[in-house]
Amino acid sequence: MFITQFLTSEIEARRTKNLEYLKKVSPHFYQFMNLKGEVKAQAIYHLGRWDLLVNGVSLYGGDARLNTRRQFEDYLKTPNEFSSPFYVFWFPEDTVDGKLSHELTKLLAPAKSADRCKQRKTVGTVIAFGVGLGFHIELLTEHYDIKQLILVETDVELIKPTLYTLDWEKLLSVYNGKDRIISFYLHKDPDLLAVGLLDHLTAYYNPTLLTHFHIYMHRNDPVLIEGAKKFWASNKSPIAGFGYFQDELWSLEYTLENIKKELPLYQAKKKVPSDSTAFVIGAGPSLEYALDFIKKNQERAVIFSCGSSIGTLYEEGIKPDFHVEIERTKFTYDALLQSASRDYLKELTVIFNNPMYPQVSELFKESLMFVKPNDTGGSLFPPEYPPVGYSNPTVVNAGLSLALHMGFKRVYLFGVDMGYKDPRKHHAKGNVALKEGSEFYKESEAQEHELEGNFGGKVYTNSMLLWARSMIQDLLKLYKDAEVFNTSDGAKIEGTIPARIDELSLSKFKKSEAIKLIKQDFSRDYLKALNLERKLSLLISHAEEYMNFVRERTKSISKPEDFFSFVSEAGLYQYRFYGSPFIYMFRPPFYNFSYALLSGICRMEQDQALEAGKTALKLYIDFLHECIKLIKKSVKYLS
């Protein structure tokens, strides 16, 4: 509820003008400002001074404009700015991505010696926690050249006062959607605020602009403060796992092959009965002590085996109800054949995502498919078949996400260690990674991080598993009504309930009914709604249009700050192709390139940065040209 006091006709006229302007140029923003919130916000204007009461408490403690300026001036003395590490993503040298990363590594090598970006007025991203009366938005915009301004709040009522205090037409002339953008993100839960803000950056805007960014705390609110802390603790996520072009080319090719096989696709329309129980089985070393329990309770749970855990289950004679896989390379096919016999696999049902290596389906009795999010091949399917989120980076992520999507309210994790106490014993017995002489054999794992154990003590882990653990934790925040028991003697996972196996007691339920409902939720009806020829044609035409845009845009670069503008403009330009396979195929390598470019040149001196940046853009244009050639070759072959 928003209330005002002592407003003059001039101020009322400003609100009317703002609303009329927003209705004309930004209908979504206009509708947003007309939503009803829960917070009581009362703006007061008296004798030329503003204040804002939030649930009866003064936000500014006096003159809002004066106190906001003081806050801003204090901020400038010790700005809360961050520079992501300089890094060029590595890819196999025999790929088009690998050739680009190799050249960028040589070109941007001088940046390695600098710890952080040099202080300049151009800033990739500013995240302001708290909106209030918005005077700090004007100050930030006047002082910095901000490419991406994100305003974070807990309630829409705390944004409405800006209709009286700000000139939104003037602000939106700056953040015009060409090379600068402004957006809002709202949430009342600090955990979900942090998770959603990461998704907001990764899915809708440009995470590579976090190579140099500011966090500005305007409103002293517990939700915002905690949300900001959690966002900062997880800020690695937007710059991790972008993928690369070759990955997306495989996705395109393999998805088309799997469509030709007419594999049933997950619809996410049905839910298992509420009393259903699921086992999600990972390949961690603690799986060994759970095997007897799993054997004895096979009829009291729907069993999802994940990835290389199948080798351990095979040796123990345990047959999962569903085996889950996600990797798109031949690696998965070869690992399966070295993990279990063909006869054993032929008795199982496999669930995998759309870019799965096509021959994998031939190993199983039945193959079911789900849509991978943010994926080129996934974009070929009709929109009513939703992607299964949080299904990366490991197969366990996919297995748990599927179980929760399917409606399981009680899930038990086995072998989901997300680390190891002994780096030489990083998987359970029977795992292909422990078979000496195998191409998958690994003598020991890296001890990159140390985590608290699920049952106490310390556990070591690597960056991939650390990321996988954080994705599980974020997933569980979306399913707070589900009980997820972690029996693994590995890393502690927030949101799970530590549960020792000898203390577990399971109830019976109609397992056959749950399995029947799951299988019924995979359908071939999508085949009738595909329009592959049109989507593939659009992919090529959009790629060529984008390459021409990049070629023309690079001609106007005359100073290092222009590279931030280029990255912002190119990222926004891509969104005109939203829904096209283009954005999924070309956005990941764009992020990889942009991250290397910005994190490199911002550490260089002006002249050096300008020269290196221009050369990098020439390499990027050559890369785009080669990518388009490869797409045309693949599409021609597959048709």
* Per-10-residue mean pLDDT, the chain, length 639: 64 92 92 92 89 93 95 95 85 91 94 81 93 97 95 95 95 92 92 81 80 92 92 61 86 95 97 97 94 96 96 95 93 93 98 98 98 94 95 96 98 95 78 71 72 91 89 93 96 96 93 98 96 93 98 95 94 90 94 94 93 97 97 78
Are 101 and 592 spatial neighbours (Cβ–Cβ below 8 Å)? yes
Q: What pLDDT is stored for residue 441 in this prediction?
A: 60
Q: In what order do the strands lie in the sheet with 181-186?
A: 81-83, 212-217, 122-129, 145-153, 181-186
Instruction: Report the candidate in 488, 487, 493 with the shortest Cα–Cα distance to residue 452.
Output: 493
Give CA–CA dist 209/146, Å, rounded: 10
Q: What pLDDT is stored for residue 85 in this prediction?
A: 83
Q: What pLDDT is stored for residue 117 in this prediction?
A: 84
- Count the alpha carbons within 13 Å of 201 in the hemisphere toward its beta carbon: 31
Query: 271: exposed, middle or buried (C-beta count within 10 Å: 0-12, 13-18, 19+)?
Result: middle
Give CA–CA dist 264/257, Å, rounded: 13
Are 293 and 497 spatial neighbours (Cβ–Cβ below 8 Å)? no
DSSP state of 409: S
Parallel, antiparallel, or unpaired for β 458-461 and 302-306?
A: unpaired
The CA distances from residue 71 to 79, 125, 228, in Å, are: 11, 19, 18
Give CA–CA dist 573/381, Å, rounded: 24
Are 371 and 384 spatial neighbours (Cβ–Cβ below 8 Å)? no
35: tokens are 């939503």
Are 399 and 306 spatial neighbours (Cβ–Cβ below 8 Å)? yes
Question: Would the pTM of this model clear 0.85, i.e. be above it?
Answer: no
| Ranges of H-type helices in 479-605 | 511-520, 532-553, 561-574, 581-601
Give CA–CA dist 614/559, Å, rounded: 10
Backbone angles phi, psi at 114, to 5 degrees: -95, 135
| Ranges of H-type helices in 131-244 | 135-143, 162-165, 168-174, 190-199, 222-233
How many residues can be counted in the chain?
639
Give CA–CA dist 365/430, Å, rounded: 23
356: tokens are 């799965």
Give CA–CA dist 445/440, Å, rounded: 13
Are 305 and 400 spatial neighbours (Cβ–Cβ below 8 Å)? no
Give CA–CA dist 517/168, Å, rounded: 52
Residue located via tokens 């397992």 = 511
